[in-house]
Structure 1
Amino acid sequence: MTCSNYQIFIRRNSDLKQVQQISKYKRLEMVKRRNKVGSWLLEVDFDCTELRHEYQNEQFGLEVWRNGSRFFTGPLTRIERRKNGEERTLTLSGADEKIYLTSELALPDPWHYTTTFNSAYDSRSGAAERVLKNYIDLNIGPNAVAERKIPGLVIETNQDRGNNVYYIARFDKLLKVCQDIILHIPGYNFDIVVNDSNKLEFKLVPWVDRWAKGVEFSERLRNLIGYDYTYERPDRNFVLVGGGQDGGTTPVYRKFAYSGNEWSRNRWGNVVEFIDKRGTVDVNELKQAAWDALKLEDGKEKPDENMIGKINVTAQITQVKGGPEMGKDWDLGDFVKVTIHQGGPGQEIAVYDYIKEIAISLTEERAEEIRALVGSDDVITTNGGPVPYIVDSLTHIEEKLRSLEGAY
């Protein structure tokens, strides 16, 4: 199978140079993921002369160009050879460049790659972008010890973007460190890409509020394939917090605080939970613990800002002729509107959320199939970006979908 707007190459990982173009294949799949490791798969006939045996090992990877621009790159991680009757296939699969963030840890002492460390933690504070890039630089980047460096990796110039954070790392995967800190850099995701100088580069990638620009997905527009929407009883809607000191084997509570989400209680009745905060008697800390548990921002009850029940929404979208185009009108990480139900007046259910995954498949039957998933699970409400939101006119609810508050 060939597709004129795609060019597929086998690349050498050590210098990222193309070594062979692949023009005949049975299947190509690429999955880009927001702040997670993407994946790829290339299936060819076993006797494909283009994919020589010397390229079928871990020293090589994939590079794909789409419409004249580099679209996807990453190393090979798996080789499969299969015979089914008279059909024999060779399947290479791998990951995108973010896999390098899973290959090393954020060590307590990045300069001592041994079992003995001079520090218990690697704690850093400052602008979130600077903190994030320092962890990358010292653990796998240009200033890492030789045996930990990712060959040729460069880091985008720091601009001190994001909120001030305090982060403590101790044997955490670098991917987790990135996922934690990126929540405090409004308007950006992180990535490792092959830049114009043909080097691996760790960088921040901006996302766009496409809903503000009128981009929408729905059955009416034929670009909504499917969705899964659940609304259920909350885990808690009234919280009692006890603070104080341990009294031997019997806990002793000296101070208490409580809070409730009255909007949720009116709908579901009481769902009460106790939180143990022994170790502090500061009433403000106890109140904050209650608000955090209920996801109430500064204790404020606003039905359009705070959770009433438990809501999960995932929508599968696509590109159709004449509709918004992937890479032009929407892309990975962008904020979009998905209308998952469109009845009469007052019967709409609309979700406003982020595109978390884009999957492209080329096969013998289809030249190009584009699908994407909308539905984030990593949003912080205080970072200045739009919060995932739902308007359900049938159930009469308007509320944010998720809230992950940072505590660094």
Structure 2
Amino acid sequence: MAFDLPRVTVQVRDGNLDIVGVVDDYISLTIIPRFNAVGSFVLDIAADSPKAHLLVPGNGLVIRRGADVLMSGPIREPNWKRSNSDGGDGTLTVNGVDDLTLLTGTTCWPTPTAAPGSQTDSVYKISGVVAETAMRALVNLNIGPGAQAARKVSNLTLATDGLHGAAVNKQVNQFDRLLDVLQDIAKTAGLGFRIVQVGANLQFQVYVPADLSASAKFSFGLGNLTDASYSVTAPTCTKAVVVAGGSPSPRVVSVTTRADAAFPGPWIEQFVDLTSVDTASTDLTAQMTQAADGALTSGAAQGNLTMTPIDTPRLQFGRDYTVGDRVSCQVKDDFFADVVREVSISFDAQGGYLAKAVIGSSDGTNNQDALARTYAYISRIFTEIRHLKTRKPL
């Protein structure tokens, strides 16, 4: 279903984040914001457009709808094509990613403020600070204002610390990818994060997604849901064997079990390596508990519920919900609440607009999430099906 909304503004920025032009003659534009993951954009424009020369690597786009920035990020791959029926110079297709890509090329140094030759620690420790503060510190010390000059992204700032999330006790392995570490902390704390252009700077922002499950509803009956599917995979870990220390500190072993009634059978043990942790650490118990919980959570039975709603005049992305928010979708006879993982938004030259959201698990990364609520619901459906199959005929 397509319908008209105010046309977006596509600004072009240079390498210093200064706005150098506006692309108002594009053929089509698709942006895909993703929850706690790198989004992307694709823009098609006539190759002979007077704006085409701006769309080169080194520059980037700032895509706005009204005062809101839907996405900002660098241009990565301009591609040209022309057919024999094309009366002009062909079409230029510009691909890019959002500014969260900064985190994909950054590693977490064990001692971020020390020179490369002075990285004597094997881990970076987070002890007893709230999740948002921990996330901001990781960005700040590795590429933000508090980073070494050689690693600092000069135009990157941090939004005000909202002190969201529970306290975190975690050891970050040396040179883990920064995006992966932030995703792990955010998932546990129920937070969202992004990097977007604000004024002449990029800003790292942490936010609390909204629970809109009571007001934002999708169903086939409402005409705003195009497809839905669900599946279940068996657990890969029901017993976490955590081993800490061993060299030079004494070895400590803990075993944590999490049974799954829907999958009776032998235990599935998994070794969790914390041998780099000094067992004399005052937060040893907290670290081992958190490590065990992480292994059991990621190895739990997975419920994969994927649904694709579309925007209607009554319920629209950006106005009524955004990525990370919880909305409700109808599966069989019940409404089920889950997270908006990504949204594909397409605009055409006439101002037409179409948005399709993916709710629940949608790709290889998201499928590793332990969506306990999804699994519980799907497991109940499977149980009902089994009861129907074993019921004796009258």
**Shorter-chain TM-score range:** 0.7 to 0.9
1:86 CA drift (Å): 4.1
Letter paired with 2:269: I
Q: For each residue in 1:29-81, what CA deviation from the matched residue of structure 2 results, as whole angstroms up to 9, or x when unmatched? A: 101000000101111111111222xx243221011121343322111111212
> Structure 1: how far apart are the matches of 2:204 and 2:7?
27
* Residues 5 and 68 in structure 1, CA contact (< 8 A), matched pair in contact too: no
Alpha-carbon spacing, 1:235–1:225, altered in 2? closer, same or farther (3 Å): same
2:91 alignment counterpart: 89
Letter paired with 1:371: K
Unaligned runs of 5+ in 2: 244-252, 275-286, 386-394
Unaligned runs of 5+ in 1: 245-253, 297-306, 342-347, 399-408
Structural mapping, 1:7-406, within 5 Å: 7-14=9-16, 16-52=17-53, 55-87=54-86, 88-112=90-114, 114=116, 117-125=119-127, 126-169=129-172, 170-186=174-190, 188-195=191-198, 197-212=199-214, 214-231=215-232, 234-235=234-235, 260-262=259-261, 264=262, 270-275=264-269, 310-321=302-313, 323-341=314-332, 348-363=333-348, 367-376=352-361, 377=366, 387-388=373-374, 391=377, 395-396=382-383
CA-based RMSD: 3.7
> Structure 2: how far apart are the matches of 1:20 and 1:289?
49
Query: Which gives a bigger RCO, structure 1 or 2 (Cα 8 Å, sep 6+)?
Result: 2
Question: What's the secondary structure of 2:20's corresponding residue?
Answer: strand
More strand by share: 1
Letter paired with 2:36: N
> Structure 2: how far apart are the matches of 1:219 and 1:287?
43
Letter paired with 1:373: V
Alpha-carbon spacing, 1:389–1:338, altered in 2? closer, same or farther (3 Å): farther
1:201 CA drift (Å): 0.9
**Taking every aligned residue pair, what percent have the same amino acid on both sides?**
24
Letter paired with 1:73: S
Alpha-carbon spacing, 1:115–1:397, altered in 2? closer, same or farther (3 Å): farther
> Structure 1: how far apart are the matches of 2:44 and 2:82?
13
Letter paired with 1:173: R
1:310 CA drift (Å): 4.4
1:303 alignment counterpart: none
* Residues 259 and 290 in structure 1, CA contact (< 8 A), matched pair in contact too: no
